[in-house]
Amino acid sequence: MKNRILKLVFVLGSIFLFTGIFNHFQEVQAADAGFTINAKLPDNQYDDSVTYFDLLMKPGQNQKLVLTVENLTGMSKTIKVSPNSAYTANGASEAYDKYNQNKNGHQIYSFKNIVSQPQTVKLKAHETKDISFEVRMPTTKYQGILEGAFYATDVSDKKSNQSNNNGFSIKNRYSMAVGLILREHENQHVQPDFKLRQIRPSASNYTLNSAILTEIENNKNATIGNLSITTTITPAGSSKVLLEKSENNRSVAPNSSFLYGIGLGNKWLNPGKYHLKMIATNGVQRWVINKDFTIDFMTAMKLNQHNNSLRWLWILLAVIIIVLLVLILIIWKKRRKKSELTS
DSSP string, 227-265: EEEEEEEEETT----SEEEEEEEEEE-TTEEEEEEEE-T
List the one residue out of 293, 218, 219, 276 whose CA is nearest residue 250. 218
Query: By mean pLDDT, which of 1-15, 109-123, 250-264 is the weakest?
Result: 1-15
* H-run or E-run covering 320: helix 311-342
Spatial neighbors of 268 by CB under 8 A, at least 6 apart, are 7, 304, 307, 309, 310
Asked whether 314 and 285 are in contact (CB, 8 A), the reply is no
Helix (H, G, I), strand (E, B) or coil at 315: helix
Residues counted in the chain = 343
Query: By mean pLDDT, which of 56-65, 205-214, 317-326 is the weakest?
Result: 317-326
What pLDDT is attached to residue 341? Answer: 65
- Mind giving me the DSSP string for 269-287? --SEEEEEEEEEE-SS-EE
Q: How far apart are CA 91 and CA 247, in angstroms?
A: 10
Report the pLDDT averaged over residues 327-339.
78
How far is the CA of 297 from the CAs of 9, 127, 270, 314, in angstroms?
10, 63, 8, 19
Strand spans (E) along the chain: 26-27, 35-40, 53-56, 62-71, 77-85, 87-89, 93-95, 119-123, 128-136, 145-154, 161-163, 169-171, 175-183, 195-202, 211-218, 224-235, 243-252, 256-263, 272-281, 286-295
Burial class (CB in 10 A: 0-12, 13-18, 19+), 250: buried
Residue 145 phi, psi (nearest 5): -130, 155
pLDDT one-digit tens code per residue, 287-298: 999 999 999 999
What pLDDT is attached to residue 2? Answer: 42
Asked whether 175 and 152 are in contact (CB, 8 A), the reply is yes
- Is residue 274's pLDDT more than 60? yes
Asked whether 61 and 245 are in contact (CB, 8 A), the reply is no
- Is residue 134's pLDDT more than 90? yes
pLDDT one-digit tens code per residue, 299-331: 988 888 876 655 555 566 677 888 888 888 888
- Is residue 69's pLDDT more than 50? yes
pTM of the model: 0.77
For residues 220 and 341, the model is more confident at 220
Q: How far apart are CA 8 and CA 293, in angstroms?
A: 24
Spatial neighbors of 58 by CB under 8 A, at least 6 apart, are 137, 184
- In the predicted model, what is the mean pLDDT of the chain? 83
Nearest-Å Rg of the Cα atoms of the chain is 28
- pLDDT > 90 in the chain, percent: 62
Q: How far apart are CA 182 and CA 187, in angstroms?
A: 14
pLDDT one-digit tens code per residue, 156-208: 866 544 444 443 444 556 889 999 999 999 888 899 999 999 999 999 899 98
Q: How far apart are CA 14 and CA 333, in angstroms?
A: 32
